[in-house]
Structure 1
Amino acid sequence: MDTKDYEQKGYLNEDYKFFHICDNENIDIPFHYHDFDKLILILNGNVKYIIEGREYELLPFDFVLVNRFDIHKPVYEADNGQKEYDRIILYLNHEFLEKYGLLDAFHKTKEIESYVVRFPANISTKIYDGFVKIENDLKVENEEYAGKLSTRIDVLSSLIEFNKACISEELGFTQEARYNRKVIDIIEYINKNLSKDLTIERLADHFYMSKYHMMRVFKQETGYSVHQYVSEKRILYARTLIMSGTPATSACLEAGFKDYSSFSRAFKLQLGILPSEVKI
């Protein structure tokens, strides 16, 4: 499967999508986010993942969790063709996970500030076997009796096992990430205060930094300017509010925009639709 088939930004109209992908050429996808949650199992390759300012050097059988709206990018450096980047990826609709109570692992990433899980071999193998079963299901689901249902059951079974492992294996979440503590603090502050004053000057004062130094370091660590990061997070927050039934005018203010016209323009520019066109 070609990279362009899965390098998508935005929406997932199904409950889940499954990919098993191998690459042997360098990959440096730009920073981006998705409207869905993502679970990756690394099988091979010199690869690192950068998620919300944290950079992880990954090992075979590491699991990477990317929450919806988290800004992230993978970086793969080919090793003379000897270590191909081999991984299994599950795109997971947030509402699908919520419906079945399977968001615990993703919630835990936020709670303990780590996006990579490294289980004991017996647990990793059990979950991997479940993923292989899903892959085999997909090959025959249009030919077998109740094939699509069988695939769905195996997806749910694998997610149950994964969540159970994340809950019980407290030490599985690795803290081995490279990051700038100040940038992480800024990211956390922004996400907790989207309705408040988040101008460059206000943030620089709050964190006792030169605004030029803050902007330079933030861009270097996240790939986003501070202004772009704040704007995109506010739009995504407003969209979530609107989808939950909050009037667009109220969502505009709750997300930190001062007037509806600028909010509407930014919303259209980022998501391609007007706030009034969001489906509830």
Structure 2
Amino acid sequence: MFINDELFFIEYADSVSYCYEKQQFDAQDTSHILINLGNPLCLSLTEENLCLLKYQFCMFIPENKNILKSSPGQKFIYLSLKSGFWSCFMSGFLTAFPSFTDENAYFYSLNEKTAECILDLVMKMFQKYQTDSKAYYAFHYSWLSEILMGLSQSISHTEAESHEKSVIKEILRYLEYNFTERISIDMLSSHFYISKYYLMRQFKKETGYTIHNYILKKRINYACCLIVNGISPSEACYQSGFTDYSLFFKAFTKTTGFSPSQYQSTLHKKII
């Protein structure tokens, strides 16, 4: 099924194989979107072979020949938008689609609910196009705009997740060199411009540790290294970032199974 409109071309395909060459418009004047709704989908661009998984979509600028190969039962939506569509109906949204001004292809993911909403809108367009021309011409650009806004929101969500992971990496790098200093969640939140409660959830998601337990583990490991190198337990306590020996004693014993002095004695016996 396809619709070839003045400002766009849209096709919903459920086929074994599919091939296109530059499709409806010139590459310089067209935005191309491929949304996969089924099995992994192979897309061969000029210099690279790409694979779209279910509920992923790709945006690209086509070259002389692009080949899309799909398996039986494959479902996908192919959308080609002329620049006039953006200027007329989606002004301001173009910046959400970086690949439209870039030679590379960009991949993003949809959640299942968004993918189903987009497919419903596409099927509504085809149904009205075939049965109710008045309704189609009254609403088709509105429906298409809804589809693009759904994609735009997914791009924002994907980029936000990428940014969040990048922030956690920065925090881990910071902790690697500063875990012996006085560190609080409020300080990390302020320093890295991230919500305190979101930081706590995301840090646990990415590392498997709470921030407190992660710093504690780093400090205990460092204290063990100091003791191994002949530093007394009391001195290792403060050099590793603890400010209270009783807290250090409890944490060290719980983590290693030995008290600091037992750990030191065990090492001394092994050396002798």
Give me the TM-score of the superposition, normalised by structure 1: 0.45
Give me the TM-score of the superposition, normalised by structure 2: 0.46
Structure whose residues are more often helix by fraction? 2
Larger Cα-atom Rg: 2
With a CA cutoff of 8 Å and minimum separation of 6, indicate the structure with the bigger relative contact order.
1
